[in-house]
A and B are shown apart, each in its own frame.
Chain A
Amino acid sequence: MTEPRMTHEDALELAPAYVLGALERSEEAAVRDHLATCGLPHPEIQAFGGVVPALWDVDDLELVEPPASLGERIMAAAAADLAANPRGASASATAPTPAAPAPAAPPAGPPVAFPSTAERTARAERTRTSRFDWALRIAAVLAIAAVGAWGLNLQTQLDASRRFDQSVAAVIQAAGQPGAKTVVLTAAKDAKASGIAAVAPDGSLTMAVRDLAPTSGTQVYETWVIVGEAAPVPVGGFTVGANGTASFTTRPAEAPVGAIIALSLEPAEGSTAPIGPIVSTGLAIAPPPSN
């Protein structure tokens, strides 16, 4: 199927609208194709196009600062993208290879009451980071965990990925509040669920979790907060669809630094103590001092 080619004269005539973006996108593509293949010069594109930046500087473009959360979202999405598509390996980015690294599954076991060495190291590292790195590191940790869990089959999971990006953004936003704590959720034995959460100053927990097995029937995932030796406190449950991701905010609860956050798969809503298997756990840690 060959489309009628745009003539040089057509392209000349469309140049003003082209530089303003006032063509149908199909026409615009035709002009672009013409420019890419035509041997004649097109000074009119430069001449008209060069005027366009002046339109940004006119007095009636009101300058509005975007909300801070937008930058955080963008950086989180870029970090996730980088983890999914490492630079310098672009040729193999979409070609699945059997040599996929195994997910770095943390040793599963009962929730621990104190930060592990790894968590302490991570916390110490965070305190040295620059002003941007806080949100970035959360995103990067997550994204790397996500890639490990997902393997290379990313193309088919774009929708879930986008959903997850959005829930991560919500977590990052909650984590940015003064006094907020963060939780990295890692998969328990025989489960793959991992994610990140932030404990807001009011004690509510905003979570982004992926690779959860879908719930069926009356099943729910229940969120538990465990402080010291006290019994687990249920703070809210949710169901999970086929995409395996969850974005959820719990009821407020007392969740100080060192509290354990756990997700269990319960047979029905309303459990007062965990019955079903624990699928993911994490530890509430304090953010680095702001500097």
Chain B
Amino acid sequence: MNESQHGLRGRTATSADDADRAVLALVTAGQLDALQDLYDRYKTMAYSIALRITSDAALAEDVVQDAFLGIWRNAGRYVEARGSVKTWMLSIVHHRAVDAVRRRRPTTDLPEREDVPPAALTLPDVWQDVSAGLDREEIAAAMATLSEVQREAIELAYWGGLTQQEISERTGTPLGTVKSRVRLGLLTLRRSLVRDEDGLAEGLAGDGGT
């Protein structure tokens, strides 16, 4: 997992990225061995993310299977300029895991199960691997800079699969407050992760912060 020593100068392609992209191209061409390769490389991360979100081993397996089949069928939709293969794949896993737990809750507007939810495959298009060059201590230190309520909001959203509205209801916090906690939490994380801040953060701090 320590494949990168790059700093945080925006998106920096690592050799692992390059290798993944080459393998993904083979997946697009229909090479089963290439899919096996990607699976072997990311199965533990994928399964761990799915398990954390679903808290259900059987469901987590279904999610990972679903996600990898989606990757198998839609590898051609990956857009290189918008993020690493790893980020793309794990985002698909995350998206489907959230769908799976929301499906168990009656209150959300999740559509009936589709065969290949297109949403899952385009959501992470614009993500970047800002954290690619950080080690775990740095990231843990960054997480520690969040306030307790910011951290809770982000965790309920990302790992709990809750919508902002649901977080508001569950924690008895006004929706506007939940929104600012999520925004400020992400902003704080970004500031501590991205050392050569490009001035973006200042522009982002204000908008939407009710």
Contacts and interface: CB of A to CB of B under 8 A. Distances in A.
Interface of A: 9, 12-13, 15-17, 19-26, 28-29, 32, 35, 42-59, 61-67, 70-71, 73-75, 77-79, 81-82, 85-88, 130, 132, 136, 140, 158
Contact of B49 (A42, A61, A78): A61
B127 A50 contact: yes
B100 interface: no
A83 to B, nearest CB: 10
Contacts of B43: 65-66, 70-71
B126 A42 contact: yes
A78 B130 CA distance: 32
A43 B64 CA distance: 30
Nearest to A32: B122
Contact of A78 (B32, B40, B124): B32
B48 A45 contact: no
Contacts of B64: 66, 70, 74
A136 B60 CA distance: 23
A26 B109 contact: yes
Contacts of A43: 200, 203-204
A56 B182 CA distance: 17
Contact of B208 (A13, A24, A54, A58): A13
19 contacts: A17-B182, A19-B186, A21-B157, A22-B158, A23-B164, A24-B163, A32-B119, A43-B204, A47-B201, A49-B128, A54-B193, A57-B139, A64-B47, A65-B47, A66-B44, A70-B64, A78-B32, A86-B30, A87-B30
B79 interface: no
Contact of B140 (A53, A56, A58, A78): A58
B164 A17 contact: yes
Nearest to A65: B44
Given A48-B190, A63-B45, A71-B43, A54 B182 contact: no
B205 to A, nearest CB: 11
Given A50-B128, A54-B134, A136-B32, A73 B161 contact: no
Contact of B189 (A42, A54, A73, A78): A54
A46 to B, nearest CB: 6
* Contact residues of B: prevailing secondary structure: helix
A208 to B, nearest CB: 17
Contacts of A19: 127, 186
A70 B65 contact: yes
Contacts of A67: 61
Given A22-B162, A88-B30, A54 B142 contact: yes
Interface of B: 28-30, 32-33, 35-36, 39-40, 43-49, 51-52, 60-61, 64-65, 68-69, 72-73, 86-87, 90-91, 94-95, 98-99, 108-111, 115, 119, 122-124, 126-132, 134, 136, 139-140, 142-143, 154, 157-159, 161-165, 167, 179, 182-183, 186-187, 189-190, 193-194, 200-201, 203-204, 207-208
Contacts of A28: 119, 123
**A-B residue pairs, 8 tightest by C-beta:** A87-B30, A50-B130, A22-B157, A66-B47, A13-B208, A54-B131, A49-B127, A50-B128
A2 to B, nearest CB: 19
B119 A29 contact: yes
Contacts of B35: 74-75, 78
B67 to A, nearest CB: 9
Contacts of B111: 25
A46 B128 CA distance: 6
A58 B139 contact: yes
B194 to A, nearest CB: 8
A70 B109 CA distance: 30
A70 B77 CA distance: 24
A20 B154 contact: yes
A130 B95 CA distance: 33
A77 B115 CA distance: 14
Contacts of B91: 52
Contacts of A78: 32, 35, 68-69, 72
A50 B122 contact: no
A81 B72 contact: yes
B179 A17 contact: yes
Given A71-B40, A74-B39, A20 B158 contact: yes
B182 A16 contact: yes
A35 B124 CA distance: 12
Given A47-B204, A54-B134, 9 more contacts: A22-B162, A22-B167, A48-B183, A50-B190, A58-B136, A64-B47, A73-B65, A77-B69, A158-B115
